[in-house]
Amino acid sequence: MTRSPQRSWHAVTLLILLASLPALAQSKLEDRRNWVGKSTAVSDDPRRVPVAPGPRGPEGSIVLRGGRVFDGTGSAAKLATVVIERNRIVALLPPEATQWPANARVIDVAGKTVMPGLIDLHTHLTYTEPNTPEEQAEEGESATLRGAERLRVYAQSGITSVRDVASEGTAPFRLKQWVAENRLPGPRVFAAGQLITGTGGHGAEGMWRKSSHDQPVAAVREASGPDDWREAVREQFKRGADLIKLASHYSRAEVAAAVDEAHTLGLKVTVDAETFYIQWAVEAGADTIEHPLPRSDETIRLMARNGTASVPTLVPYIYIFDLAGGYFGSTSRRFDFSKEANMEMLRKLKRAGIKLGVGTDLVTDWFRYLPNAYITELKQFVAAGFTTEQALVAATRTSAEILGMDDKLGTLAVGKLADVIVVDGQPDRNLDDLSRVSLVVRDGHVILENGRVVIAPHVPVPEPDPRKTVPGKEW
């Protein structure tokens, strides 16, 4: 018995669809929060690792009294008082209220704006500056010190969370740890670890950059084949990654394997890609796409349908075109490229309803442009059709959503972590006022006051008493 050509075609189509179902099912993020009850204390990062119960943050309370509160939800600013206990927001009171602990530190912020800390979703904390000696560029100790300097600058700019999307070796994880322990002033660090790309892919082009195969502190991990891409994801997870960063080039099978592995481990995936590689990443289930690089209208529709977010990062390309006239010598930038095209891409993404977060991608020494670089990025959002208030929501609530941290960060609400900034002005009406950040609270710790970074003072511990520490000795 022979089948008709039409029936044979239907059978083939059915087999193809059935074969694709497992991959489609695996592309969904396994959210570990669904398995952790509210009574279990977990780490304040996307890994959600169980931690010992008990108080967190510094002892005492801080009251920010009588300021304009822009809470990051999209509501208009209103007069209110914010009460912080340890590392949590515990009350939003009417401006005339005084119901706070008697020993609280009260700071009068009348005439100023209190708002959630800003978030930068695209940073590289350890990247080198021009003229950095080669031995220091590849040295883990120097990389960590570069990151410490950048953290201070971000903090001065009112940025209380950074997503580091590729840095040398274990440096971003050590920086994250020291900030969390308040041994280093700076924003929270959410680290991806190494950038994973195909052999000779973005960040590993030519012979100028060493990959992790021959240099353990490299910021780039070249991988080849689906199994190696999975292994590269697991390596970042082992080091402590809060998310996974992938970059073109890759095959469909490679990006699908990496996304599946990350999602199974409970981590989100962001991808630096262009043209058809973006569509392959979206089809594989990537959570976010970085940069305003070219993609088809079909890909944008697919992003909207899949709920794929975007971090457009227009500001670094503005600098590239202004300083160098173009992005030259890169095999991952083979397309027509301009500031105007980048702005049009941002407008397309907005019209499609894509969730848009804020990131600056300040490589080399561009972090020294802060806070103006961050303000310029927000102004691109306004030029694309956002209101000033909506741009600030993108910088706070929406960026927290993209991080997977919106249950803890991004808005001023009772129960949220105390990441709060005070601005001398009204940034919800004039973005340039963000250059006047006077107070920064991160995790309940004051890390910037009167525009100056605050370092916790050394508190001496008692010297050892030999009468208590030398066993068997009579005094």
Q: Which residues, 6 or more positions from 17, have their beta carbon under 8 angstroms from its beta carbon? A: none
Summarize the confidence of residues 48-61 as an average pLDDT.
Answer: 94
pLDDT digits (tens, 9 = 90+) for 378-430: 999 999 999 999 999 999 999 999 999 999 999 999 999 999 999 999 999 99
**% residues pLDDT > 90 (the chain):** 81
Nearest to 403 by CA among 187, 153, 183, 194: 187
pLDDT digits (tens, 9 = 90+) for 262-278: 999 999 999 999 999 99
3-state DSSP assignment of residue 220? strand
Q: Quick one: tokens of 258?
A: 């990496």
Q: Quick one: tokens of 167?
A: 């840095």
Tell me which long-range contacts 224-229 makes (C-beta under 8 A, separation of at least 24).
Answer: 224/198, 224/199, 225/254, 226/251, 226/253, 226/254, 226/256, 226/257, 227/257, 229/196, 229/254, 229/255, 229/257, 229/258, 229/261
What's the CATH code, domain 117-413? 3.20.20.140
Q: How far apart are CA 269 and CA 263, in angstroms?
A: 8
Q: Given a cut of 60, is residue 207 above it in pLDDT? A: no
Model pLDDT, residue 16: 39
Reported confidence tier of residue 12, pLDDT bands at 50, 70, 90: very low
Reported confidence tier of residue 123, pLDDT bands at 50, 70, 90: very high
Summarize the confidence of residues 455-475 as an average pLDDT.
Answer: 82
Q: Given a cut of 70, is residue 212 above it in pLDDT? A: no
Q: Given a cut of 70, is residue 375 above it in pLDDT? A: yes
Task: Give the start-to-end residue ranges of the domains of the chain.
Answer: 117-413
Nearest to 249 by CA among 195, 208, 303: 195
Model pLDDT, residue 470: 73
Model pLDDT, residue 7: 43
Q: Given a cut of 50, is residue 19 above it in pLDDT? A: no
Model pLDDT, residue 245: 98
Q: Given a cut of 80, is residue 4 above it in pLDDT? A: no
Q: DSSP character for 298?
A: H
- Asked whether the beta carbons of 443 and 182 are under 8 A apart, the reply is yes
Cβ-based burial of 389 (10 A; exposed 0-12, middle 13-18, buried ≥19): middle
Model pLDDT, residue 396: 98
pTM of the model: 0.92
Q: How far apart are CA 391 and CA 398, in angstroms?
A: 10
Q: State which amino acid sits at residue 98.
A: T
Summarize the confidence of residues 245-259 as an average pLDDT.
Answer: 98
Q: State which amino acid sits at residue 446.
A: V
